Amino acid sequence: MNRSASTPLAPAALRPAALPAVLPGVAAGVSARRFVLRHALWPLLAVLALSTLSMGLGGDFWLADRWYALQGGRWALENAYLTEHVIHRFGRDASTAAWLGAFAFWVFARSRPALADWRRPLAYLLLATLLSVSLVSGLKSLTNMDCPWDLARYGGDLPFYGLFASRPAGLDRGVCFPAGHASGGYAWVALYFFFLQVRPRLRWTGLAIGLGVGLVFGISQQLRGAHFLSHDVWTLAISWFVALTLYLAMARREAPRAQPAAASALEGAGR
């Protein structure tokens, strides 16, 4: 039998056999397979469960109905100073400033031999956050879903069209799924893998930062009527799996460089 024909397809970076035995920052006793299962399988199951709850069982409408009712049957917080100017505008600018700060640190590290170990992790962080935000932004123009404030149910003009529903010809495209603003927060879950490479004990702090900022951005936008819960769930999922895949891809690429160094060390020890 042709083995390649019977082997399930999977991204090369996620195939444990293609990864080095020890991943950057991961304890030597934890295999690549175990690491991938822990960091990919459980988040995937969580995303599927939350998507079923929010999109399949009406959780999106249940939550949005309550946000809308609490504001007196309108999106009273749509243009509020806290939600629009502080969290939306300033939050977006702060996330951009953080990225530029990381870029400046990377440039500085390239000129300082003492910071050589930080260069690759910083490059990873810059690329992971940029890819996450860009992918979410690109998908928004393809998925063709409306914001809550556009729907007749919440004072707008449009009926609801699901993710896979066909829209009438001539109707303006929806650009609300996934959640763009929340991606500026959730993209920073890449800090988990960044710290895993430079300061493993801080990886949970990094994850908490990404999740915390993403939640603030996401809930604020839900209160404004800009997004449903599922929009934020998928933004977080995209950000996490981009960060994970890039971490594994860079670890796989680094492995051939590390092997000759290890071999040389063993050879020198045997002399």
- Residues contacting residue 13 through CB under 8 Å, at least 6 positions apart: 245, 246, 248, 249, 252
* pLDDT over threshold 60, residue 222: yes
Lookup result for tokens 């932004």: 137
Alpha-carbon span 211 to 218, nearest angstrom:
10
pLDDT one-digit tens code per residue, 75-101: 999 999 999 999 999 999 999 999 999
Show me where the domains of the chain are located: 32-162+171-252
DSSP 159: -
* pLDDT over threshold 80, residue 226: yes
Q: Which of 117, 172, 118 is nearest to 146 (CA)?
A: 172
pLDDT (0 to 100) of residue 263? 36
If one compares 221 and 26, the residue with the highest pLDDT of the two is 221
pLDDT (0 to 100) of residue 22? 65
pLDDT one-digit tens code per residue, 148-167: 999 999 999 999 999 888 88
Q: What is the band of 32 on the pLDDT scale with cuts at 50, 70, 90?
A: confident
Which ranges of the chain would DSSP assign to H, the alpha helix? 3-6, 32-36, 42-51, 59-70, 91-110, 116-143, 180-186, 191-198, 203-224, 229-270
* pLDDT over threshold 50, residue 224: yes
* pLDDT over threshold 50, residue 19: yes
* pLDDT over threshold 50, residue 8: no
- Percentage of the chain lying above the pLDDT 90 cut: 73
pLDDT one-digit tens code per residue, 169-179: 888 888 999 99
Cβ atoms of 148 and 226 within 8 Å: the answer is yes
Q: φ, ψ for residue 158 (rounded to 5)?
A: -110, 145
Type of residue numbered 117? D
